[in-house]
Structure 1
């Protein structure tokens, strides 16, 4: 069994734009080797937004380079638009997987429909690093809808496989390095044993409910980071719980991050800033 290394938490929240009340549970400002290939985990919500007319709440045009953003919506709706022409709206249970690669501009807002009705909002944004050889790939966008995400039932719950594999079931997301991303629901009182790759960085984020892992309690908006050694983890659900299971093969390369850019050297960061300032990340077409 994998063992518990540490529990990651952050009681301080901040707003990203006016649409995303966020707690950053880990980021590249810390021990990047321990979390590789992951870079950042923002937990937005839970929050209840009042209806609004006019411009939807969110965050306007901004750049990224050198990694991928993975946005998973649990409540509410998020609309995305980027300089590759990618975009769309996702709702509960759906995923936007954007590869920034060589550089991209994008924006994220609540959908017009959700803005008019308001209601509960909860989402996760995970940043996934790219290896040096892929940091300059062309930007791309994957819209992963509910109907494309397979579900696996196991004793004590069920898992939706967004990326990677669970047994013989494979998720739809295309990744550059070996990654598993599973949206897992656990039944109250159940103890589940999840098969996990030996050698992978392994983190389990609790998004609702409360679980026990390796004898330690983990509650909402907390992440259990487990040992890389071991090929399974045992989780006891103290009530109905939703957890996001993240595993990935570590990328043994330097990480240098500056705001929305994550590269391997300071020189590459300066190049990214210069490319953005020179307008080389493209443009967003006017909203339709």
Structure 2
């Protein structure tokens, strides 16, 4: 039903990269790269595929605070170790997802995993910042470690590929991540010529990041590796066809219609809340984490 297709607003090239710490070379698609509506997703940092040389001292990002949102890190190549001030730590390997709800505040650091660092190799990651509704911004921090082996996977017909459901649901199959607002987050892994269809409410902000390969959308526009497809807030149906073996990160969510105040790693609703976050951080209320 073409009349109900969700049409493409723009196919966006990756903005110029910048370094986050010395371990992540990222393209920021939004909010700074492009001014596009993607709430509840506030930020998309994409570490496109690069080779890191072997190194004994792991590259990464030192201790930094977060408050008021969630960070979601998705690994495609390489491995990342993380630690926080609540005593949580872990490693995400290719296919894994680390979903950190910073909420009321946490100190965090993330580095290339030690063995990966010593060997070097291909590295490719996505980090999303997902806004929290005001009523949840000061809730207790928590983690969801979503291992690839336990991820919900929907097998597409005709050997088209699989949809890995991280959050939300696809054809009735629910992802394991619990969320504070309505959203869907999938990895679509399609074989060449494979097709997949998606249906999202017209009001949901929707975008696809092409991790690998290339696709045709609704039989019209095409998008290639490292491009981001932004959709209009009209229609609900999307069909994609893989022009080659492809991996696509699918994001769609109900907008959080609340004011935003952001300063560095704090994402709140008012300037006063930002001041409070700075004060709490400076007073050590986010806990302690060794560099």
TM-score, normalized by length of structure 2? 0.93
1:196-239 CA distance string (max 9 Å, x none):
34421111111111112242221222211112333320112211
Deviation at 1:195, TM superposition (A): 2.9
Partner in structure 1 of residue 19 of structure 2: 15
- Whether 1:50 aligns to 2:45 is no
Checking the alignment, whether the CA contact within 8 Å between 1:87 and 1:141 is kept in structure 2 is: no
Checking the alignment, whether the CA contact within 8 Å between 1:184 and 1:244 is kept in structure 2 is: yes
Hey, what's the Cα distance between the residues in 1 that align with 2:129 and 2:281? 20
Partner in structure 1 of residue 277 of structure 2: 272
> Secondary structure of the residue that 2:111 maps to in structure 1?
strand
Checking the alignment, whether the CA contact within 8 Å between 2:210 and 2:224 is kept in structure 1 is: yes
Checking the alignment, whether the CA contact within 8 Å between 1:28 and 1:257 is kept in structure 2 is: no
- Whether 1:239 aligns to 2:241 is no
Checking the alignment, whether the CA contact within 8 Å between 2:69 and 2:131 is kept in structure 1 is: yes
Partner in structure 2 of residue 143 of structure 1: 145
Partner in structure 2 of residue 84 of structure 1: 86
Query: 4+ residue stretches of structure 1 with deviation over 6 A?
Result: none
Aligned partner (choices 107, 113, 116) of residue 114 of structure 1: 116
Deviation at 1:7, TM superposition (A): 2.5
Unaligned runs of 5+ in 1: none
- Whether 1:167 aligns to 2:197 is no
Checking the alignment, whether the CA contact within 8 Å between 1:101 and 1:134 is kept in structure 2 is: yes
Unaligned runs of 5+ in 2: none
Relative to structure 2, which stretch is displaced further, 23-32 or 125-134? 23-32
Relative to structure 2, which stretch is displaced further, 273-282 or 185-194? 185-194
Partner in structure 2 of residue 248 of structure 1: 253
- Whether 1:191 aligns to 2:195 is yes
Partner in structure 2 of residue 35 of structure 1: 38
Q: CA RMSD in A?
A: 1.6
Corresponding residue pairs, total: 284
Hey, what's the Cα distance between the residues in 1 that align with 2:34 and 2:281? 26
1:281–1:96 Cα change, 3 Å: same
- Whether 1:25 aligns to 2:29 is yes
